[in-house]
Structure 1
Amino acid sequence: MPTAIIADDERLMRDQLRMRLEQVWPELEILGEAKNGEEAVELVNELKPDFTFLDIRMPGKTGMEAAAEIGNKSNVVFVTAYDAYAVEAFERGAVDYVLKPPEPERLKVTVERLKGRLSSPAASAAQGADMAAILSQLAEKIATPKQKYLQWIQASIGSDLRMIPVEEILFFRSDEKYTCVQTDKFEALIRKPVRDLADELDPSLFWQIHRATLVNVNAIEGVTRDIRGRHLVMIKGRPDKLEVSRSFLHLFKQM
């Protein structure tokens, strides 16, 4: 009889996959279950299943990290909630997969492929030998897209609206109602608070140095202390000195 283990950090998903596999492949014997990638590797070494169903995202050791360790010890089947784009990556990588939630009709297609691997040991051996290359390709295809940060700020200058490129902004400083947008040439006002801007601006370009202040890294001339011991950021070419909260001092340890 063919054998398998199931690895998923969600108990309900393990139960559902087990139930669906029993429906579409009653001959398959589930030898054990794992809650994370580390347990999955241990079970593979101990039980030597024909197939290992691995959730992609698990705490600690992920499914892809576990697959790299498992290699050709077991046929890896990734369990994923990814969309059609990611599924295309799996298919091009010649990797077996199960979509969440595991619907019987979809699962039947995967099961037929897995049965083919049992009847063709050469195919299984090839997958194991190429696992490192396959995982590298998959990691590139299904990587989390980079966050898109604000490129422009729409701000008021008197009765006019101005579109300001973020790289031209020296700092943002909020009061109770408005946030001041300071450039080298002018000052403008927006209603968005610093706490929201901090999530929408590239953190490698803008550092939050106070709950009410964001500063452009390229505009920082240096850091000084006043007679009260407060740390103040000096801005290139300007008299402004921006206070640094104690909780943000770690940003300047490298300076």
Structure 2
Amino acid sequence: MKRVLLVDDEPDARQLLRQYLGQEPGYELVGEARDGPEAVQLIHTLQPDLVFLDIQLPGCSGFEVLARLEQLPQVIFSTAYDAHALQAFEFHALDYLLKPYGRTRFQQALARVAYDDARVEALAQRLLQAGGPYAPRVILHKGTRRLIVEARSIRYVEAYGDYCKVYLHTEQLLALNGISELAQKLDPALFCRVHRSYLVNLAHAQEVVQEGRRRYVVLDNQARVRVSSSYQGQLRQLGL
């Protein structure tokens, strides 16, 4: 489900977008903004995948909204002015809807979203498959961004419901896989299951310490990952 934010100071324009969007499967409206500063705040807070963005907004323009963001979502401009089209595509906008427009034109814009998603996914899969039987890279998520990360840079993985938190040296990302599924993709010569909830990259392990009845793997970023008794045998086989 793609999360969508509408940004327009005109209530009628937002209502039309809301109506069209409600007729399209696979899209969830998560919020609406009426001015530029509110748009910046909601994008930071809600982290939408797709933003329908007017250009002439109170407070700051649609272009200024994007300039204030560190991470850009997919953007479709929706405006009554055709003079800004070139600048819009400099921000890698997927489309430029010129008001007034009908549902057919709206659906054409969504088709560009689907095409962009398919293009990114195809590129990601080619990169992921470049290697041996185990994935040298994995797709991770940070807000609205999909990142291709070298598996060797992962320090450890923590189960997080149906997903996983993936910890790099100083950064935490999200994998849309369960820990068992992710473990099958990673090279077992590097990654060791030390707990039902934790998977450790042994290339970054510094030592194993005992504190009372508990054991921990200490990593090169000073992270400490608990080792459960049922998985200690795997570490012993590796001489740890």
Report TM bin, short chain.
0.3 to 0.5
Structure label with greater radius of gyration: 1
- Report the TM-score, using the length of structure 1 for normalisation: 0.43
